[in-house]
Amino acid sequence: MGVISKFARRKTLIRFRKMKLNLFGVKGNSLFKKTLSVFSMMLTPLFLMAAEGVVAPPTEFNPMAWDWSSILTLVLAILIVLVIARAFDIGSLTEKITGKTIVSWNNVNAWAAMVFLILGLIGVWYEMEYHGKYLLLGDSASEHGITLDSMFYWTFGFTFFVFIVTEILLFYFMFKYKYDKNRKALYYFHNNKLEIIWTIVPAVVLTFLVLRGFGTWTKITTNIDKNSEEIEVFAYQFGWKARYSGDDKQLGASNFNFISGSNPLGIAEENAVNILVDELKVEIGKLEAQKAAIEDSSKIWKMQYDRFVSTGTDRTYPDEFKVLKTKYNDLLSGSYERQLEKDIKRKNTAIKRIASYKKDKETFNGSAKDDKVTTEIVIIKNKPYIFKFRARDVIHSAYMPDFRAQMNCVPGMPTSFAFTPIKTTAEARISKNNPEFDYYLFCNKICGAAHYNMKIKVTVVSNEDEYKTWLATQTPFVAPPAAAVPAEAPKGDSMTAVKTGTVVKN
Ligand SMILES: [Cu+2]
Protein backbone atom coordinates (compact mmCIF):
# COMPACT_ATOMS: atom_id res chain seq x y z
CA MET A 1 0.00 0.00 0.00
CA GLY A 2 2.77 2.38 1.08
CA VAL A 3 4.76 1.63 -2.05
CA ILE A 4 1.82 2.40 -4.33
CA SER A 5 1.04 5.76 -2.68
CA LYS A 6 4.72 6.71 -2.82
CA PHE A 7 4.77 5.86 -6.49
CA ALA A 8 1.60 7.83 -7.13
CA ARG A 9 3.00 10.92 -5.37
CA ARG A 10 6.16 10.69 -7.46
CA LYS A 11 4.10 10.52 -10.64
CA THR A 12 2.12 13.59 -9.55
CA LEU A 13 5.28 15.56 -8.98
CA ILE A 14 6.64 14.68 -12.39
CA ARG A 15 3.36 15.74 -13.98
CA PHE A 16 3.42 19.11 -12.21
CA ARG A 17 7.00 19.69 -13.29
CA LYS A 18 6.11 18.92 -16.86
CA MET A 19 3.16 21.29 -16.67
CA LYS A 20 5.28 24.14 -15.38
CA LEU A 21 7.66 23.77 -18.24
CA ASN A 22 4.83 23.65 -20.68
CA LEU A 23 2.67 26.44 -19.32
CA PHE A 24 1.46 27.76 -22.64
CA GLY A 25 1.16 24.42 -24.34
CA VAL A 26 4.01 25.36 -26.64
CA LYS A 27 7.71 25.60 -26.07
CA GLY A 28 10.09 28.46 -26.77
CA ASN A 29 10.37 29.06 -30.45
CA SER A 30 7.05 27.46 -31.32
CA LEU A 31 5.17 29.82 -28.96
CA PHE A 32 6.56 32.70 -30.97
CA LYS A 33 5.53 31.02 -34.22
CA LYS A 34 2.00 30.35 -32.95
CA THR A 35 1.53 33.95 -31.84
CA LEU A 36 2.81 35.13 -35.19
CA SER A 37 0.42 32.90 -37.12
CA VAL A 38 -2.54 34.10 -35.02
CA PHE A 39 -1.46 37.65 -35.77
CA SER A 40 -1.12 37.15 -39.47
CA MET A 41 -4.55 35.48 -39.56
CA MET A 42 -6.08 38.49 -37.87
CA LEU A 43 -4.34 40.87 -40.24
CA THR A 44 -5.36 39.02 -43.43
CA PRO A 45 -8.57 41.06 -43.97
CA LEU A 46 -6.51 44.23 -43.59
CA PHE A 47 -4.09 43.10 -46.27
CA LEU A 48 -6.96 42.19 -48.57
CA MET A 49 -8.49 45.62 -48.03
CA ALA A 50 -5.17 47.24 -48.74
CA ALA A 51 -4.86 45.22 -51.93
CA GLU A 52 -8.26 46.46 -53.10
CA GLY A 53 -7.39 50.04 -52.33
CA VAL A 54 -9.92 50.34 -49.47
CA VAL A 55 -7.07 50.99 -47.08
CA ALA A 56 -4.14 52.98 -48.39
CA PRO A 57 -1.07 50.73 -48.59
CA PRO A 58 1.76 51.66 -46.20
CA THR A 59 4.22 53.87 -47.99
CA GLU A 60 7.27 53.14 -45.87
CA PHE A 61 8.36 51.10 -42.86
CA ASN A 62 7.73 53.45 -39.94
CA PRO A 63 6.94 51.75 -36.59
CA MET A 64 6.57 55.17 -34.96
CA ALA A 65 3.41 55.74 -36.95
CA TRP A 66 1.81 52.47 -35.91
CA ASP A 67 -1.13 52.40 -33.56
CA TRP A 68 0.83 50.89 -30.67
CA SER A 69 -1.94 51.11 -28.10
CA SER A 70 -4.20 48.95 -30.31
CA ILE A 71 -1.40 46.48 -31.01
CA LEU A 72 -0.58 46.14 -27.32
CA THR A 73 -4.26 45.74 -26.42
CA LEU A 74 -4.49 42.97 -29.01
CA VAL A 75 -1.38 41.21 -27.66
CA LEU A 76 -2.74 41.52 -24.13
CA ALA A 77 -6.10 40.07 -25.20
CA ILE A 78 -4.39 37.09 -26.85
CA LEU A 79 -2.26 36.49 -23.75
CA ILE A 80 -5.30 36.66 -21.46
CA VAL A 81 -7.15 34.10 -23.61
CA LEU A 82 -4.11 31.79 -23.55
CA VAL A 83 -3.70 32.16 -19.78
CA ILE A 84 -7.40 31.44 -19.13
CA ALA A 85 -7.25 28.38 -21.37
CA ARG A 86 -4.19 27.12 -19.52
CA ALA A 87 -5.78 27.86 -16.13
CA PHE A 88 -8.73 25.67 -17.07
CA ASP A 89 -6.36 22.95 -18.24
CA ILE A 90 -4.48 23.10 -14.93
CA GLY A 91 -7.80 22.97 -13.08
CA SER A 92 -8.96 19.88 -14.91
CA LEU A 93 -5.55 18.21 -14.44
CA THR A 94 -5.65 18.96 -10.73
CA GLU A 95 -9.14 17.46 -10.61
CA LYS A 96 -7.89 14.33 -12.30
CA ILE A 97 -4.94 13.99 -9.96
CA THR A 98 -6.63 14.84 -6.68
CA GLY A 99 -10.01 13.38 -7.55
CA LYS A 100 -11.75 16.48 -6.13
CA THR A 101 -14.18 18.60 -8.07
CA ILE A 102 -13.04 22.19 -8.37
CA VAL A 103 -15.49 23.49 -10.95
CA SER A 104 -18.89 21.84 -11.44
CA TRP A 105 -19.25 22.21 -15.19
CA ASN A 106 -22.79 20.89 -15.15
CA ASN A 107 -23.83 23.79 -12.93
CA VAL A 108 -21.86 26.29 -15.00
CA ASN A 109 -23.51 25.10 -18.21
CA ALA A 110 -26.98 25.05 -16.64
CA TRP A 111 -26.69 28.62 -15.42
CA ALA A 112 -25.05 29.73 -18.66
CA ALA A 113 -28.14 28.43 -20.48
CA MET A 114 -30.41 30.50 -18.22
CA VAL A 115 -28.27 33.61 -18.67
CA PHE A 116 -28.31 33.05 -22.43
CA LEU A 117 -32.11 32.64 -22.41
CA ILE A 118 -32.71 35.79 -20.39
CA LEU A 119 -30.21 37.89 -22.41
CA GLY A 120 -31.70 36.49 -25.63
CA LEU A 121 -35.24 37.40 -24.62
CA ILE A 122 -34.12 40.88 -23.62
CA GLY A 123 -32.42 41.12 -27.03
CA VAL A 124 -35.63 40.09 -28.80
CA TRP A 125 -37.63 42.66 -26.84
CA TYR A 126 -35.01 45.34 -27.56
CA GLU A 127 -35.00 44.59 -31.30
CA MET A 128 -38.80 44.64 -31.51
CA GLU A 129 -39.01 47.83 -29.48
CA TYR A 130 -36.32 49.83 -31.27
CA HIS A 131 -35.94 48.25 -34.70
CA GLY A 132 -39.40 46.70 -35.11
CA LYS A 133 -40.55 49.66 -37.16
CA TYR A 134 -37.98 48.81 -39.86
CA LEU A 135 -39.42 45.31 -40.06
CA LEU A 136 -42.72 46.69 -41.28
CA LEU A 137 -43.30 48.65 -44.45
CA GLY A 138 -45.88 50.99 -42.99
CA ASP A 139 -49.45 51.23 -44.21
CA SER A 140 -50.08 49.70 -47.60
CA ALA A 141 -50.80 52.21 -50.36
CA SER A 142 -52.67 49.67 -52.48
CA GLU A 143 -55.92 47.76 -52.04
CA HIS A 144 -54.52 44.22 -52.29
CA GLY A 145 -51.59 45.24 -50.05
CA ILE A 146 -53.89 45.22 -47.01
CA THR A 147 -54.55 41.49 -47.49
CA LEU A 148 -50.85 40.83 -48.09
CA ASP A 149 -49.97 42.69 -44.89
CA SER A 150 -52.50 40.72 -42.90
CA MET A 151 -50.95 37.50 -44.24
CA PHE A 152 -47.54 38.78 -43.22
CA TYR A 153 -48.74 39.52 -39.69
CA TRP A 154 -50.42 36.11 -39.32
CA THR A 155 -47.26 34.31 -40.45
CA PHE A 156 -45.13 36.51 -38.25
CA GLY A 157 -47.45 35.99 -35.27
CA PHE A 158 -47.43 32.20 -35.57
CA THR A 159 -43.69 31.88 -36.06
CA PHE A 160 -42.93 34.41 -33.34
CA PHE A 161 -45.09 32.54 -30.83
CA VAL A 162 -43.49 29.19 -31.72
CA PHE A 163 -40.02 30.74 -31.57
CA ILE A 164 -40.49 32.18 -28.07
CA VAL A 165 -42.07 28.99 -26.66
CA THR A 166 -39.44 26.62 -28.10
CA GLU A 167 -36.52 28.83 -27.01
CA ILE A 168 -37.83 29.02 -23.45
CA LEU A 169 -38.38 25.25 -23.31
CA LEU A 170 -34.99 24.49 -24.85
CA PHE A 171 -32.93 26.53 -22.39
CA TYR A 172 -35.12 25.92 -19.37
CA PHE A 173 -34.86 22.15 -19.88
CA MET A 174 -31.08 22.46 -20.16
CA PHE A 175 -31.18 24.11 -16.77
CA LYS A 176 -33.74 21.85 -15.09
CA TYR A 177 -32.42 18.53 -16.31
CA LYS A 178 -28.73 19.13 -15.83
CA TYR A 179 -26.72 16.06 -14.79
CA ASP A 180 -27.54 14.72 -11.38
CA LYS A 181 -25.77 11.59 -10.24
CA ASN A 182 -28.74 10.66 -8.01
CA ARG A 183 -31.18 10.80 -10.90
CA LYS A 184 -31.58 8.31 -13.69
CA ALA A 185 -32.79 9.42 -17.13
CA LEU A 186 -36.17 8.08 -18.12
CA TYR A 187 -36.08 5.81 -21.14
CA TYR A 188 -39.00 7.15 -23.14
CA PHE A 189 -39.36 5.32 -26.40
CA HIS A 190 -42.53 6.39 -28.20
CA ASN A 191 -45.82 8.21 -27.69
CA ASN A 192 -48.50 8.16 -30.35
CA LYS A 193 -50.42 11.04 -28.85
CA LEU A 194 -47.36 13.31 -28.95
CA GLU A 195 -46.54 12.29 -32.51
CA ILE A 196 -50.07 13.09 -33.64
CA ILE A 197 -50.11 16.47 -31.89
CA TRP A 198 -46.82 17.71 -33.26
CA THR A 199 -47.73 16.59 -36.74
CA ILE A 200 -51.34 17.84 -36.87
CA VAL A 201 -50.78 21.27 -35.31
CA PRO A 202 -48.07 22.47 -37.75
CA ALA A 203 -49.99 20.85 -40.64
CA VAL A 204 -53.15 22.82 -39.79
CA VAL A 205 -51.25 26.07 -39.32
CA LEU A 206 -49.28 25.65 -42.56
CA THR A 207 -52.41 24.69 -44.50
CA PHE A 208 -54.12 27.83 -43.24
CA LEU A 209 -51.15 30.03 -44.23
CA VAL A 210 -50.61 28.41 -47.64
CA LEU A 211 -54.27 28.38 -48.63
CA ARG A 212 -54.64 32.01 -47.66
CA GLY A 213 -51.56 32.90 -49.69
CA PHE A 214 -52.82 30.94 -52.66
CA GLY A 215 -56.24 32.62 -52.50
CA THR A 216 -54.75 36.09 -52.17
CA TRP A 217 -52.35 35.59 -55.07
CA THR A 218 -55.15 34.27 -57.28
CA LYS A 219 -57.28 37.29 -56.40
CA ILE A 220 -54.45 39.71 -57.16
CA THR A 221 -53.57 38.15 -60.51
CA THR A 222 -56.96 37.15 -61.91
CA ASN A 223 -59.52 39.53 -60.44
CA ILE A 224 -58.61 42.38 -62.76
CA ASP A 225 -61.02 45.24 -63.29
CA LYS A 226 -61.98 45.59 -66.96
CA ASN A 227 -61.93 49.37 -66.69
CA SER A 228 -58.31 49.41 -65.54
CA GLU A 229 -56.12 51.96 -67.23
CA GLU A 230 -53.03 50.57 -68.87
CA ILE A 231 -49.65 52.21 -68.40
CA GLU A 232 -46.56 50.84 -70.01
CA VAL A 233 -43.47 50.75 -67.80
CA PHE A 234 -40.28 50.29 -69.77
CA ALA A 235 -37.05 49.14 -68.11
CA TYR A 236 -33.57 49.68 -69.50
CA GLN A 237 -30.03 49.94 -68.19
CA PHE A 238 -30.36 52.10 -66.09
CA GLY A 239 -33.73 53.73 -65.77
CA TRP A 240 -37.44 53.58 -66.38
CA LYS A 241 -39.80 55.27 -68.78
CA ALA A 242 -43.59 55.25 -68.65
CA ARG A 243 -46.03 55.46 -71.55
CA TYR A 244 -49.58 56.73 -71.35
CA SER A 245 -52.08 55.91 -74.07
CA GLY A 246 -53.45 59.39 -74.73
CA ASP A 247 -57.02 60.26 -75.74
CA ASP A 248 -57.69 57.05 -77.69
CA LYS A 249 -57.09 55.00 -74.50
CA GLN A 250 -54.98 52.61 -76.53
CA LEU A 251 -51.25 52.08 -76.28
CA GLY A 252 -49.62 51.87 -79.71
CA ALA A 253 -47.72 48.72 -80.66
CA SER A 254 -43.97 48.57 -80.18
CA ASN A 255 -41.03 46.55 -81.47
CA PHE A 256 -37.37 46.50 -80.55
CA ASN A 257 -36.51 46.93 -84.23
CA PHE A 258 -37.90 50.48 -84.05
CA ILE A 259 -35.71 51.53 -81.14
CA SER A 260 -33.61 54.59 -81.89
CA GLY A 261 -32.17 57.59 -80.12
CA SER A 262 -35.37 59.54 -80.67
CA ASN A 263 -37.65 56.54 -80.11
CA PRO A 264 -36.15 54.77 -77.09
CA LEU A 265 -39.22 52.58 -76.52
CA GLY A 266 -39.40 51.39 -80.13
CA ILE A 267 -42.97 52.61 -80.57
CA ALA A 268 -44.66 51.76 -83.88
CA GLU A 269 -45.26 55.33 -84.97
CA GLU A 270 -44.78 56.04 -88.65
CA ASN A 271 -43.05 59.36 -88.30
CA ALA A 272 -40.51 58.02 -85.83
CA VAL A 273 -39.86 54.90 -87.85
CA ASN A 274 -39.36 56.97 -91.02
CA ILE A 275 -36.82 59.10 -89.20
CA LEU A 276 -34.99 55.94 -88.13
CA VAL A 277 -34.90 54.71 -91.73
CA ASP A 278 -33.55 58.09 -92.88
CA GLU A 279 -30.88 57.98 -90.20
CA LEU A 280 -29.91 54.47 -91.22
CA LYS A 281 -29.62 55.60 -94.85
CA VAL A 282 -27.38 58.51 -93.87
CA GLU A 283 -25.17 56.14 -91.91
CA ILE A 284 -24.98 53.73 -94.82
CA GLY A 285 -23.96 56.65 -97.03
CA LYS A 286 -21.16 57.54 -94.64
CA LEU A 287 -19.95 53.95 -94.48
CA GLU A 288 -19.98 53.68 -98.25
CA ALA A 289 -17.99 56.90 -98.56
CA GLN A 290 -15.45 55.45 -96.13
CA LYS A 291 -15.28 52.33 -98.24
CA ALA A 292 -14.76 54.32 -101.44
CA ALA A 293 -11.98 56.32 -99.83
CA ILE A 294 -9.99 53.31 -98.71
CA GLU A 295 -7.17 54.05 -101.11
CA ASP A 296 -6.83 57.65 -99.91
CA SER A 297 -7.04 56.58 -96.28
CA SER A 298 -4.32 54.08 -96.92
CA LYS A 299 -2.02 56.82 -98.23
CA ILE A 300 -2.79 59.19 -95.36
CA TRP A 301 -2.33 56.56 -92.67
CA LYS A 302 0.91 55.39 -94.26
CA MET A 303 2.18 58.98 -94.22
CA GLN A 304 1.22 59.43 -90.56
CA TYR A 305 2.82 56.10 -89.72
CA ASP A 306 6.08 57.04 -91.38
CA ARG A 307 6.13 60.43 -89.69
CA PHE A 308 5.66 58.80 -86.29
CA VAL A 309 8.62 56.50 -86.91
CA SER A 310 10.94 59.06 -88.53
CA THR A 311 10.47 61.70 -85.81
CA GLY A 312 10.59 59.20 -82.94
CA THR A 313 7.06 60.24 -81.85
CA ASP A 314 6.11 56.55 -81.76
CA ARG A 315 8.07 56.30 -78.53
CA THR A 316 6.80 59.53 -76.95
CA TYR A 317 3.16 58.70 -77.81
CA PRO A 318 3.08 54.89 -77.78
CA ASP A 319 -0.71 54.62 -77.27
CA GLU A 320 -1.55 56.89 -80.20
CA PHE A 321 0.96 55.05 -82.33
CA LYS A 322 -0.55 51.71 -81.38
CA VAL A 323 -4.05 52.84 -82.46
CA LEU A 324 -2.73 54.05 -85.79
CA LYS A 325 -0.73 50.88 -86.29
CA THR A 326 -3.77 48.67 -85.63
CA LYS A 327 -5.90 50.78 -87.97
CA TYR A 328 -3.28 50.64 -90.69
CA ASN A 329 -2.72 46.89 -90.28
CA ASP A 330 -6.48 46.27 -90.44
CA LEU A 331 -6.60 48.23 -93.65
CA LEU A 332 -3.71 46.27 -95.17
CA SER A 333 -5.18 42.89 -94.15
CA GLY A 334 -8.60 43.82 -95.56
CA SER A 335 -10.44 43.43 -92.24
CA TYR A 336 -11.21 47.17 -92.19
CA GLU A 337 -13.09 46.84 -95.48
CA ARG A 338 -14.86 43.66 -94.38
CA GLN A 339 -16.08 45.42 -91.21
CA LEU A 340 -17.44 48.32 -93.28
CA GLU A 341 -19.27 45.90 -95.54
CA LYS A 342 -20.69 44.06 -92.55
CA ASP A 343 -22.00 47.31 -91.02
CA ILE A 344 -23.57 48.36 -94.31
CA LYS A 345 -25.22 44.98 -94.70
CA ARG A 346 -26.58 45.06 -91.15
CA LYS A 347 -28.10 48.47 -91.62
CA ASN A 348 -29.64 47.44 -94.95
CA THR A 349 -31.19 44.41 -93.28
CA ALA A 350 -32.62 46.68 -90.58
CA ILE A 351 -34.20 48.91 -93.23
CA LYS A 352 -35.69 45.88 -95.00
CA ARG A 353 -37.07 44.52 -91.76
CA ILE A 354 -38.69 47.84 -90.86
CA ALA A 355 -40.21 48.02 -94.35
CA SER A 356 -41.84 44.61 -93.92
CA TYR A 357 -43.23 45.60 -90.50
CA LYS A 358 -44.59 48.82 -91.98
CA LYS A 359 -46.87 46.82 -94.24
CA ASP A 360 -48.65 45.49 -91.14
CA LYS A 361 -51.66 47.80 -90.68
CA GLU A 362 -52.38 46.24 -87.27
CA THR A 363 -49.02 47.44 -85.94
CA PHE A 364 -49.23 50.88 -87.51
CA ASN A 365 -52.87 51.63 -86.70
CA GLY A 366 -52.15 55.19 -85.62
CA SER A 367 -52.84 54.58 -81.93
CA ALA A 368 -49.23 55.40 -81.05
CA LYS A 369 -49.48 59.01 -82.26
CA ASP A 370 -50.94 60.46 -79.09
CA ASP A 371 -48.99 58.20 -76.70
CA LYS A 372 -47.00 60.11 -74.14
CA VAL A 373 -43.60 58.90 -72.92
CA THR A 374 -42.86 60.26 -69.47
CA THR A 375 -40.07 60.12 -66.92
CA GLU A 376 -42.43 59.82 -63.95
CA ILE A 377 -45.67 58.01 -63.22
CA VAL A 378 -48.81 59.77 -62.04
CA ILE A 379 -51.86 57.75 -61.05
CA ILE A 380 -55.20 58.53 -59.41
CA LYS A 381 -56.31 57.27 -56.02
CA ASN A 382 -58.94 54.49 -56.03
CA LYS A 383 -58.61 53.90 -59.76
CA PRO A 384 -57.61 50.43 -61.02
CA TYR A 385 -54.39 50.26 -63.07
CA ILE A 386 -52.50 47.68 -65.05
CA PHE A 387 -48.79 48.29 -65.35
CA LYS A 388 -47.45 46.57 -68.48
CA PHE A 389 -43.76 45.89 -68.21
CA ARG A 390 -41.19 45.62 -70.96
CA ALA A 391 -37.41 45.44 -70.74
CA ARG A 392 -34.91 46.42 -73.38
CA ASP A 393 -31.62 44.78 -72.45
CA VAL A 394 -31.49 42.47 -69.42
CA ILE A 395 -33.95 41.23 -66.81
CA HIS A 396 -35.08 43.97 -64.45
CA SER A 397 -37.68 43.84 -61.73
CA ALA A 398 -40.25 46.52 -61.00
CA TYR A 399 -40.59 46.82 -57.25
CA MET A 400 -43.04 49.17 -55.56
CA PRO A 401 -42.78 48.39 -51.83
CA ASP A 402 -45.44 50.88 -50.80
CA PHE A 403 -47.94 49.27 -53.16
CA ARG A 404 -46.81 45.74 -52.22
CA ALA A 405 -46.12 44.98 -55.85
CA GLN A 406 -43.24 43.39 -57.69
CA MET A 407 -42.93 41.97 -61.18
CA ASN A 408 -40.01 40.86 -63.32
CA CYS A 409 -39.37 42.78 -66.53
CA VAL A 410 -37.99 40.39 -69.14
CA PRO A 411 -36.75 41.31 -72.63
CA GLY A 412 -39.08 39.76 -75.19
CA MET A 413 -41.63 38.67 -72.59
CA PRO A 414 -44.20 41.31 -71.59
CA THR A 415 -45.44 41.03 -67.99
CA SER A 416 -48.02 43.00 -66.06
CA PHE A 417 -49.29 43.81 -62.59
CA ALA A 418 -52.73 45.15 -61.71
CA PHE A 419 -53.40 47.17 -58.59
CA THR A 420 -55.42 50.02 -57.17
CA PRO A 421 -53.71 52.80 -55.21
CA ILE A 422 -55.64 53.84 -52.10
CA LYS A 423 -53.46 56.53 -50.60
CA THR A 424 -52.27 59.73 -52.26
CA THR A 425 -48.70 60.95 -52.00
CA ALA A 426 -49.98 63.92 -49.95
CA GLU A 427 -51.75 61.57 -47.51
CA ALA A 428 -48.65 59.38 -47.21
CA ARG A 429 -46.55 62.46 -46.45
CA ILE A 430 -48.88 63.35 -43.59
CA SER A 431 -49.08 59.82 -42.14
CA LYS A 432 -45.32 59.34 -42.42
CA ASN A 433 -44.74 62.83 -41.05
CA ASN A 434 -42.29 63.45 -43.87
CA PRO A 435 -43.06 66.33 -46.28
CA GLU A 436 -40.35 65.06 -48.65
CA PHE A 437 -41.75 61.55 -49.03
CA ASP A 438 -42.44 60.13 -52.50
CA TYR A 439 -43.47 56.74 -53.78
CA TYR A 440 -40.92 55.09 -56.05
CA LEU A 441 -40.72 52.16 -58.38
CA PHE A 442 -37.30 50.58 -57.94
CA CYS A 443 -35.37 47.98 -59.89
CA ASN A 444 -35.07 44.91 -57.70
CA LYS A 445 -32.86 42.79 -59.88
CA ILE A 446 -29.13 43.42 -59.93
CA CYS A 447 -28.91 44.43 -63.56
CA GLY A 448 -25.55 46.18 -63.82
CA ALA A 449 -23.28 48.93 -62.56
CA ALA A 450 -25.90 51.67 -62.02
CA HIS A 451 -28.66 49.33 -60.80
CA TYR A 452 -28.67 50.99 -57.40
CA ASN A 453 -29.87 54.23 -58.96
CA MET A 454 -32.60 52.76 -61.16
CA LYS A 455 -35.92 54.16 -60.01
CA ILE A 456 -38.88 56.22 -61.18
CA LYS A 457 -41.13 58.43 -59.08
CA VAL A 458 -44.76 57.39 -58.69
CA THR A 459 -47.17 60.10 -57.63
CA VAL A 460 -50.70 59.30 -56.51
CA VAL A 461 -53.04 62.25 -56.94
CA SER A 462 -56.51 62.54 -55.44
CA ASN A 463 -58.60 63.31 -58.52
CA GLU A 464 -58.85 63.20 -62.31
CA ASP A 465 -58.31 66.96 -62.67
CA GLU A 466 -54.90 66.89 -61.01
CA TYR A 467 -53.91 64.01 -63.23
CA LYS A 468 -55.12 65.76 -66.38
CA THR A 469 -53.24 68.91 -65.46
CA TRP A 470 -50.05 66.90 -65.18
CA LEU A 471 -50.66 64.90 -68.37
CA ALA A 472 -51.26 68.13 -70.32
CA THR A 473 -47.70 69.20 -69.51
CA GLN A 474 -46.35 65.99 -71.10
CA THR A 475 -45.75 66.19 -74.83
CA PRO A 476 -47.40 63.57 -77.05
CA PHE A 477 -45.16 61.04 -78.71
CA VAL A 478 -44.13 62.64 -81.95
CA ALA A 479 -40.58 61.87 -82.87
CA PRO A 480 -38.38 64.95 -82.82
CA PRO A 481 -36.30 65.75 -85.96
CA ALA A 482 -33.14 63.70 -86.34
CA ALA A 483 -30.93 66.70 -85.47
CA ALA A 484 -32.37 66.73 -81.94
CA VAL A 485 -30.91 63.32 -81.18
CA PRO A 486 -28.31 63.90 -78.48
CA ALA A 487 -24.87 62.74 -79.52
CA GLU A 488 -23.63 62.26 -75.98
CA ALA A 489 -25.75 60.73 -73.26
CA PRO A 490 -26.00 61.99 -69.70
CA LYS A 491 -24.16 59.78 -67.25
CA GLY A 492 -25.88 56.67 -65.96
CA ASP A 493 -28.56 56.74 -68.63
CA SER A 494 -27.46 54.62 -71.52
CA MET A 495 -30.87 54.83 -73.17
CA THR A 496 -30.13 58.07 -74.97
CA ALA A 497 -26.55 56.99 -75.50
CA VAL A 498 -27.64 54.49 -78.10
CA LYS A 499 -26.71 55.83 -81.47
CA THR A 500 -29.62 55.79 -83.80
CA GLY A 501 -30.05 52.51 -85.55
CA THR A 502 -27.21 50.68 -83.88
CA VAL A 503 -29.59 48.83 -81.57
CA VAL A 504 -31.24 47.12 -84.49
CA LYS A 505 -29.73 43.70 -84.49
CA ASN A 506 -29.71 40.96 -87.06
CU1 LIG B 1 -32.55 47.10 -63.44
If you classify domain 113-222 with CATH, what class do you get?
mainly alpha
Q: Who surrounds ion ligand 1 at CB < 5 A?
A: 396, 443, 447, 454
User: What's the mean pLDDT in 246-256?
Assistant: 80
CA of 57 to the centre of ligand 1 (A): 35
The pLDDT, as a whole number, for residue 19 is 45
Query: Three-state SS across 198-258?
Result: HHHHHHHHHHHHHHHHHHHHHHHHHCCCCCCEEEEEEEECCEEEEEECCCCCCCCCECHHH
CATH for 230-266+364-506 is 2.60.40.420
CA of 394 to the centre of ligand 1 (A): 8
CA of 237 to the centre of ligand 1 (A): 6
pLDDT at 190 over 70: yes
- Per the CB < 8 A criterion, the answer to whether 398 and 233 are in contact is yes
pLDDT in tens, 270-323: 888 888 888 889 999 999 888 888 888 888 888 888 888 888 777 788 888 888
CA of 457 to the centre of ligand 1 (A): 15
CA of 366 to the centre of ligand 1 (A): 31
pLDDT at 189 over 50: yes
Residue 467 CA to its chain's centroid (Å): 33
CA of 451 to the centre of ligand 1 (A): 5
pLDDT at 487 over 50: no
pLDDT, mean over the chain: 81
CA of 296 to the centre of ligand 1 (A): 46
User: What's the mean pLDDT in 133-151?
Assistant: 84
Q: What is the chain's Cα-based Rg?
A: 37
CA of 446 to the centre of ligand 1 (A): 6
User: What's the mean pLDDT in 114-138?
Assistant: 88
DSSP state at residue 54? S
- Per the CB < 8 A criterion, the answer to whether 448 and 238 are in contact is yes
CA of 386 to the centre of ligand 1 (A): 20
Write the single-letter amino acid at 326: T
Whether this prediction's pTM lies above 0.85 is answered by no
DSSP state at residue 103? S
> Which of 124, 130, 504, 135 lies closest to 348 in space, CA to CA?
504
CA of 236 to the centre of ligand 1 (A): 7
